[in-house]
Structure 1
């Protein structure tokens, strides 16, 4: 057999091996997404902090909807629905949603919100919270927006079961958001 006819198949085999090695190589992003819920943001224990106390198993639905544009990170096109369901339920009960989005402008805090603290910019409210990832996260997340915001929206059933206790809701929301942000900054190697 002529050696020049072996060059192309050899190159293709080597290229396939390199691509397979890269995809199988462990990384913080792959590890956290495989181990945790909500695209690697939350442990199961933390995900269950906000609860309507009607019982049921914790269920997470990572709804991959419309994206933030071609080439943008898939974390921007996914809304994480944290729900509870029992065998009696016909549909799961939403406890809260967690959403990561690139944005050009920041929303004003809700009137009953508290600063997030821990060196992060943003606010935590009993119904909704918005916290910004460090500016260094934009590039590895493939966005040109000046801000990347993690938004948590608490379902009405949880608010009622917490008796609208602002301090308790803010405390639990803060724990969820800080763990989510810490895991995202680890995944993308963009800590402050």
Structure 2
């Protein structure tokens, strides 16, 4: 048998082995996504902080919009719900998602701007916080910023008796954990 015909199969076997090793190699991204909710952004404990007070088990639905080829973190909205008893539909608690953007939204009325080197704002019903400056490049976002947006469902606001202080505190914890865990996944911490 001619040895020149063995070169291509040997190269293909080596390439397949390298690809398999890369796919199986542990990384912060894979580890956090495996152990946390919402593509690795939230621990179960933190995910349960915003709550409508009506009972039910915490459920998470990650809805991917289907943009193929893009990192799923940019095409997925995470819906955090509570399951309802008696077969009724799950009750929405809030949504969280990450988006690349070149312009930042103005804070909503009554929002609190973050300090301590953080960029963004928190309010009782919606919060937007930017990942550290190096993250868009590491995430191959193609934009100047990556923003994590948290939108709280009306039922949670009512359950807190419109207590903005409690809602802002819980929202701050949820959105900052999401930002910190994404920064860990992509190794782009501030």
Give the TM-score category using the shorter length.
over 0.9
Q: Which residue of 2 aligns with 1:93?
A: 91
2:148 matched to 1:150? yes
- The normalised TM-score by structure 1 is 0.95
Q: In the TM superposition, what is the alpha-carbon distance from 1:118 to its structure 2 partner?
A: 3.9
2:19 matched to 1:8? no
Gap runs ≥5 in structure 2 = none
Q: 1:135-188 CA distances to partner (integer Å, 9 max, x unpaired)?
A: 200111112211111000000000000011000000000000111111111101
Q: In the TM superposition, what is the alpha-carbon distance from 1:191 to its structure 2 partner?
A: 1.1
Q: Which residue of 1 aligns with 2:32?
A: 32
Partner Cα distance (2:11, 2:107) in 1: 56
Q: Which residue of 2 aligns with 1:64?
A: 64
Q: Which of the residues 176, 179, 182 maps onto 2:177?
A: 179
**RMSD (Å) for aligned C-alpha atoms:** 1.3
Q: Which residue of 2 aligns with 1:161?
A: 159
Partner Cα distance (1:2, 1:33) in 2: 48
Partner Cα distance (2:49, 2:87) in 1: 21
Q: In the TM superposition, what is the alpha-carbon distance from 1:86 to its structure 2 partner?
A: 3.2
Gap runs ≥5 in structure 1 = none
Partner Cα distance (1:66, 1:30) in 2: 20
Partner Cα distance (2:92, 2:115) in 1: 27
Distance 1:45 1:118, change over 3 A: farther
Give the match's secondary structure for 1:185: helix
Partner Cα distance (2:115, 2:20) in 1: 42
Q: Which runs of 4+ in 1 moved over 3 A?
A: none
Indicate if the aligned counterparts of 1:76 and 1:102 stay in contact, CA closer than 8 A: yes
- The normalised TM-score by structure 2 is 0.95
Partner Cα distance (2:37, 2:49) in 1: 13
Indicate if the aligned counterparts of 1:71 and 1:142 stay in contact, CA closer than 8 A: no
Q: In the TM superposition, what is the alpha-carbon distance from 1:117 to its structure 2 partner?
A: 2.9
Moved more, 172-181 or 104-113: 104-113
Aligned residues: 190
